Structure 1
Amino acid sequence: MNEELLLQVEIYVAELLSKQLSSLNYYHNAIHTRRVVSKVKELAKLDSCTEQEVLTLQVAAWFHDTGYIHLDSGHEEESVKIALSFLEKHAVAKESQDQIKQLILATNKDYIPSNKLECILKDADCGHLASSDYIEISDYLLKEINAKNQSEISDLEWMQENLKFLKNHTFYSNAAKQHWQPKKELNLIEIQNKIDKKISKEKKSKNSTKIGRGVETMFRVQLKNHIELSAIADTKANILLSVNAIIISVALSNLIPKLDNPSNMFLVYPTLVLMLFSVASVVLSVLSTRPKISNVAITKEMIRKKRTNILFFGNFQKMSLEDFEWGIDYLMENEDTLYNSLTKDLYYLGLVLNRKYKLLRITYTVFMFGIIISAAAFIFSYYVYFSA
Structure 2
Amino acid sequence: MTADYNAARAYAFEYMDQRLPPGLAYHGLSHTRDQVLPAVELFCRDMDIARHEQILVATAAVFHDIGFVRRYSENEEIGAALAASILPDFGYDTSDIVTVRRLILATAIPHKPETVLAEILCDADLVSLGQDIFFESSMMLRRERMTFLRPVALKSWLEEQYTFLVTHRYHTVAARTHLNEGKEKNMKELRQVLHCSQPSGRVHE
TM-score, length of structure 2 as denominator length: 0.90
Query: 1:159-182, CA deviations, whole angstroms, 9 ceiling, x for partnerless residues?
Result: 111101101111111211233222
**Counterpart in 2 of 1:32?**
31
The separation in 2 between residues aligned to 1:10 and 1:46, in whole angstroms, is: 22
**Counterpart in 2 of 1:46?**
46
- Structure 1 runs (4+) deviating above 3 angstroms are none
**Counterpart in 2 of 1:122?**
122
**Counterpart in 2 of 1:8?**
7
Q: How far is 1:100 from its partner?
A: 0.6
**% same residue:** 27
Aligned partners of 1:156 and 1:198 also within 8 Å: no
The separation in 2 between residues aligned to 1:94 and 1:170, in whole angstroms, is: 33
Aligned partners of 1:18 and 1:30 also within 8 Å: yes
The separation in 1 between residues aligned to 2:149 and 2:95, in whole angstroms, is: 39
**Counterpart in 2 of 1:223?**
none
**Counterpart in 2 of 1:161?**
160
Larger radius of gyration: 1
**Counterpart in 1 of 2:70?**
70
Q: How far is 1:199 from its partner?
A: 9.6
**Counterpart in 2 of 1:186?**
185
Q: How far is 1:89 from its partner?
A: 2.2
Which one-letter code corresponds to 2:46 in the other structure? L
C-alpha RMSD of matched pairs (Å): 1.8
Q: How far is 1:150 from its partner?
A: 4.9
The separation in 1 between residues aligned to 2:85 and 2:62, in whole angstroms, is: 14
The separation in 1 between residues aligned to 2:78 and 2:179, in whole angstroms, is: 30
Structure number having the greater helix percentage: 1
**Counterpart in 2 of 1:141?**
141
Structure 1 unmatched runs, 5+: 201-388
Query: 1:20-66, CA deviations, whole angstroms, 9 ceiling, x for partnerless residues?
Result: 11111111110111110011011111111111121111110000000
- Aligned residue for 2:195, secondary structure, equals helix
**Counterpart in 1 of 2:195?**
196
Query: 1:356-378, CA deviations, whole angstroms, 9 ceiling, x for partnerless residues?
Result: xxxxxxxxxxxxxxxxxxxxxxx
Query: 1:242-286, CA deviations, whole angstroms, 9 ceiling, x for partnerless residues?
Result: xxxxxxxxxxxxxxxxxxxxxxxxxxxxxxxxxxxxxxxxxxxxx
Aligned partners of 2:192 and 2:198 also within 8 Å: no
The separation in 1 between residues aligned to 2:108 and 2:191, in whole angstroms, is: 27
Query: 1:63-106, CA deviations, whole angstroms, 9 ceiling, x for partnerless residues?
Result: 00000010112211100111011112233111111111111111
Distance 1:147 1:198, change over 3 A: farther
Q: How far is 1:154 from its partner?
A: 2.7
